[in-house]
Amino acid sequence: MNTLSGKNVLVTGASSGFGEAIALQFAQAGAHVALVARREEMLRALAQRIEPSGVRTIVCPCDVGDEAQVRATVDKIDAEFGQIDVLVNNAGTNVPNRTIVDTTTADFHAVVDVNLVSAFLFTSLLLPQMKERGAGTIINIASRAANFPSLLAGVAYSSAKMAMKALNQITNEEGNPHGVRACVINPGVAATPLLDRRPVPPPQETRHLMMQAEDIAATVLYAASLPQRANADRIDLYATSTEVY
């Protein structure tokens, strides 16, 4: 297995949910972590939690739905943190209105920009340097909705996550000949704050039956830890018990 100790990892959506758990587990494995999300105070609190691990962190407040901010963030990380060995495109959002009739164009753009366009931007900015070095790992956090689009997930979210699979495939076609790999992880329902954006959030008492953020983080570390010659192209990760939707 690849050692992650000393590697530089960039995690988007790092302030809570999957991203927070992913950043913590990479730090525990000895990786240095660039923390990217909108909420600076939450990123700084996370950086303080990581500090005892003895690894470096860099806090990068960024609205990943804004191209100019994404480009400025990558420039900052490159200048202050160094090359990125592992990119985790985790940032995600959804809107309460999920039917085609109720979803506005602004809603659709907001979801697609954060879930899909940000992943494309970070990939497009970091893939060239990974190809030049002959190594790199890009992990895209999609969703069960990438395999089974649904009204529950919504038209915008389902469309973005299905397209993320295409982005992952093309990243592999472009990157594999240069030693760069991409893995798309499709988690089922998990107990994260995103559930509260549903029109009718599931009750708190059922959420312990769902996967937890730590489960997805462990899967990300597994994919990143594989020898560079091997690639888990796609991982579908669902709860062992009956899914609670």
pLDDT at 208 over 90: no
pLDDT in tens, 143-172: 999 999 999 999 999 999 999 999 999 999
* DSSP β-ladder status, 234-237 and 180-187: parallel
Average pLDDT over residues 208-231: 93
Q: Which pLDDT score is estimated for 195?
A: 67
Q: Which pLDDT score is estimated for 112?
A: 98
Q: Which pLDDT score is estimated for 196?
A: 65
pLDDT band at residue 200 using 50, 70 and 90 as cut-offs = low
pLDDT band at residue 198 using 50, 70 and 90 as cut-offs = low
Percent of the chain with pLDDT over 70: 93
Average pLDDT over residues 211-218: 94
pLDDT at 175 over 90: yes
Average pLDDT over residues 232-243: 86
pLDDT in tens, 62-103: 999 999 999 999 999 999 999 999 999 999 999 999 999 999
pLDDT at 30 over 60: yes
Residue 157 is among the residues annotated as catalytic for this protein? yes
pLDDT at 9 over 80: yes
pLDDT band at residue 239 using 50, 70 and 90 as cut-offs = confident
Considering only the top CATH level, what class is 8-235? alpha beta
Q: Which residue out of 157, 222, 238, 245 is catalytically annotated?
A: 157
- Whole-number Å distance between alpha carbons of 184 and 220: 9
